[in-house]
Amino acid sequence: MSGGESLVSPPHSTAALRFTARGVVAAPETLQIRVGAQFEGRVAFGAPSPSRDMTPAEVVHNVRAFRAPGPRMRAVRGLALSAIPVSWSAATLHDTTEACRAAGIERVVLHRPVSACHDAVPEGVAVATAVRVPDEAEQVAAKRPSHSLSVTIPLEARVLPLLGEVAARLAPTTRLTLLWPLPGGSEAAPPADAVVEAMERALPQLASRDWGVKGLPLCALQSLLPQVPDLPRRVWKSANRHYVDADHQGPGALLLQPDLQRLEKRDGCRFCAFDSRCEGVASPWLAAGLAGAVTPISSSPTLLASGVHFRGDGTAG
């Protein structure tokens, strides 16, 4: 979750569970490795700052360890590499990703700053980046990427007035994740109603694009339903993941949930038609009331008229 979103869990998957001292969470199938100590333009999510860069050998060693985990853990299939050091040559990156694939990794995503999003990558490797201002969007759209490229727009207070212009300057085929900020940055997330107002203004620029929202529940966004009938399909969940850096390797790795982030729901959320599909809200933001009135949604006429139907498990299809 550093430079952009990447390995997204399918909305209707039934992930295995992981029991931790802080509660039960989804068992990760993704490993995120922050390779370098410095990372320009990263999206903060509460991860510590490592003391040094990792070596290619350390990266591969950790991948192999998480491909052959102990009891009650599942082998990871996806790998996100962030903060690739500038000292790594193209050959080093190629050899490292190939060694990870040889260990059984099925998909690799590089989280890169905008300045490096068009740099060459090994064949079959995707890139994710974060864009906050129109100039960065223009850099991303400046040339057709030779690899899969996805973009996260952090819904920070300073970004909201620019949201429509940022979206407009990106290529129409770019996959966009609108990410409500997670705790761990220098500022609190803007209130949900401010986010909804900014999204409403930006809807003409978002039209006909592949976009989704993370971090905010559908109940906080439902005023957009008349203009976005397929909104339930655009509220995305993040996959839980193991997090490794130079100071947290192997058994010392962290979990995105619950070590770095804790998500919560209100008691009444279990009555919501979207409960099984919703990951909740970051605990500090819920406590501060930033998500607004978190209230259960029923199969209302508005939702039914939008063509969204509910399965027995409460998910939309």
- In tens digits, the chain (317 residues) has pLDDT values of 444 433 433 333 334 544 444 445 567 999 999 999 998 888 888 899 999 999 999 999 999 999 997 776 789 999 999 999 999 999 999 999 999 999 999 999 999 999 999 999 999 999 999 999 999 999 999 988 778 999 999 999 999 999 999 999 999 988 999 999 999 888 899 999 999 999 999 999 999 889 999 999 999 999 999 999 999 999 998 888 999 999 999 999 999 988 999 999 999 999 999 998 899 999 999 999 999 989 999 865 455 445 444 333 333 43
Helix (H, G, I), strand (E, B) or coil at 139: helix
Q: Which residues of 210-235 are buried (b: 16+ CB within 10 A; e: fewer)?
A: ebbbbbbbbbbbbebbeebeebbebb
Contact 149, 126 (CB under 8 A): yes
Is the bond leading into 183 cis (omega within 30 degrees of zero)? no
Vertex 43, ends 41 and 46: CA angle to 5°?
130
pLDDT value, residue 311: 34
Please state, as a whole number, how many other Cβ atoms lie within 10 Å of the Cβ of residue 285.
22
Which positions ≥6 away from 117 have C-beta within 8 Å?
127, 129, 139, 140, 145, 149
Start-to-end C-alpha separation, the chain: 27
Using N-to-C axis directions, what is the helix angle for 56-67 and 90-102, rounded to 10°?
20
Domains annotated on the chain, with CATH: 17-261 (3.20.20)
pTM assigned to the model: 0.85
Contact 87, 287 (CB under 8 A): no
Q: Compute the distance between CA of residue 5 and CA of residue 13 in angstroms, rounded to an integer.
A: 18
- State whether the Cα torsion 146-10-282-167 is positive or negative: positive
pLDDT value, residue 190: 97
Which residue bears the tokens 């060459």?
120
pLDDT value, residue 235: 95
Q: How far is CA 316 from each of CA 107, 191, 206, 231, rounded to the nearest angstrom?
A: 27, 26, 22, 10
pLDDT value, residue 69: 77
Residue type, 251: P
Contact 281, 291 (CB under 8 A): yes
Residue type, 190: P
Q: Which residues of 260-276 are buried (b: 16+ CB within 10 A; e: fewer)?
A: bbbbbbbeebeebbbbe
Residue type, 299: S
- State whether the Cα torsion 209-107-74-257 is positive or negative: negative
CA trace torsion 48, 139, 9, 194 (10° rounding): 80
Phi, psi of 152 (to 5 degrees): -105, 135
